[in-house]
Amino acid sequence: MNNIDNLLNNYFDGTASPEEENVLKNYFRSDNISPQHEMYKPMFAGFDKEKQIAAPAFVIPLERDKEKQSLSRKLWITIASTAAVILLVITLFPFKNQSEMQSDDYTVFINGKEITNPQKAQQYADKMFMQANEIIRTSYEPFVEVNAMQTEMDADKIFDNVYRKINYTESENQ
Amino acid sequence: MKKILSILFLATLFVAGASAQQLEKLFDKYMEDERFNYIYQKRASTMDRLSDMKNFDLMVLDKSTTSLGRQMLTLNSADKSLDESFTREVENALKADKYEQVSIVRNGKNRVDTFEKPTDKGIAKVSFIKNPGNIVITLNLYATKK
């Protein structure tokens, strides 16, 4: 267990080697996680999940259609493809790069120990804020469902529909 | 008489100023405590705020405000008495800072309370999440865009 603690210390200080990081990742993937390390499990699980995000495949137009494509259609596809790529980059990669990030942008203490590596601190902070917001979002789901039901059960809307149906039936009869 | 009144006025201002920061004092108090995890982000970018809000129906990104930073304090503890005393401290700090309760959501043993209060620059929003063995408090400060 001391070994894992040492590796975690190195990891959060940003001095862990790739081999040491792999040891940690394998440890947190396993079912033998010590209770005092449980709090780090979501973070490492999160890193695995991020790696699994795959870019959707672009649909390439059929060969026989190529000749028929007008210039505007080609232009539209180029613009759409560029927009999709930009959107993917924005979604999959963090906005801030290393040079933009200030060392005092994030302050993180885990169990009283400060995370001095800015990247690790950012990763941990982002993950934790995301988790907290996910809890809040989940807790509000019943409200969203009720709102949707209320919208569907809008009396004015229902009466309006019935009124329209009656009018339509009457006009058909005449 | 004027002097007494002005001293009283200044004292009131001082007390009001001091009590307005109770929650932030609580963050300072526990940030280096080994039983807690603490996070401070200088300024949440629009992207951070967007990525945090997956449900746009409920949490529409308010473009009229800009982030002035956010903090989070987490207590992972199986000690019930510590949970209770920390909860009381948070509640007292929220009361002293005159936060207004915006919502309470209870789901079994889980509970999420949200609070808000206007500040000099805009608005302060607090989320207080209580799960068995886990307490999270977040403070988001926003400035109103002019």
- Locate tokens 């807790």: which residue? A139
Number of cross-chain residue pairs from A and B with Cβ atoms under 8 Å apart? 99
Query: Would the CB atoms of A136 and B112 count as touching at under 8 Å?
Result: yes
Q: What pLDDT score was predicted for residue A60?
A: 38
Chain B residue numbers touching A147 (CB-CB < 8 A): 57
- Decide if pLDDT at B10 tops 60: no
Query: Would the CB atoms of A129 and B48 count as touching at under 8 Å?
Result: yes
What tens digit of pLDDT does each residue of A35-67 get? Answer: 888 777 777 776 665 444 333 333 334 444 445
Cα of B119 to nearest chain A Cα, Å: 22
Let me know how many helices (H) and strands (E) chain A has, helices first: 7, 2
- Average pLDDT for A13-39: 83
Which site among A106, A133, A143 would you substitute to test the B interface, given the most B Cβ atoms closer than 10 Å to its Cβ? Answer: A133
More confident residue, B48 or B73: B73
Highest mean pLDDT among A52-66, A150-164, B16-30, B110-124: B110-124
More confident residue, A131 or A104: A131
Q: What pLDDT score was predicted for residue A130?
A: 85
Q: What pLDDT score was predicted for residue A103?
A: 63
Cα of B4 to nearest chain A Cα, Å: 44
What tens digit of pLDDT does each residue of A69-89 get? Answer: 566 677 777 788 888 777 776
Q: Does B132 touch chain A (CB under 8 A)?
A: no
* Burial class, A157, CB count within 10 angstroms (exposed 0-12 / middle 13-18 / buried 19+): exposed
Structure tokens, A3: 């070994």
Tell me which residue in B42, B58, B59 faces A105 most closely, judged by beta carbons: B42
Cα of B87 to nearest chain A Cα, Å: 17
- Decide if pLDDT at B113 tops 80: yes
What tens digit of pLDDT does each residue of A118-143 get? Answer: 888 888 888 888 888 888 777 777 77
Residue B134 pLDDT grade (very low, low, confident, very high; cuts 50, 70, 90): confident
Q: What pLDDT score was predicted for residue B115?
A: 94
Q: Where are the domains of chain A?
A: 2-57, 63-152
Contact call for residues A126 and B48 (beta carbons, < 8 A): yes
Q: What pLDDT score was predicted for residue B88?
A: 94
Contact call for residues B67 and B45 (beta carbons, < 8 A): yes
Cα of A12 to nearest chain B Cα, Å: 14
Query: Would the CB atoms of A136 and B55 count as touching at under 8 Å?
Result: no
Q: Where are the domains of chain B?
A: 21-144
ipTM: 0.74
Q: Does A105 touch chain B (CB under 8 A)?
A: yes
Q: Extract the runs of DSSP E, i.e. beta strands, from A39-172.
A: 106-110, 113-114
Distances (CA, A) of B30 to A6, A117, A118, B39, B75: 24, 21, 21, 11, 9
Residue of B76, B89, B12 lying closest to A110 (CA atoms): B76
Q: What pLDDT score was predicted for residue A41?
A: 76
- Average pLDDT for B87-91: 94
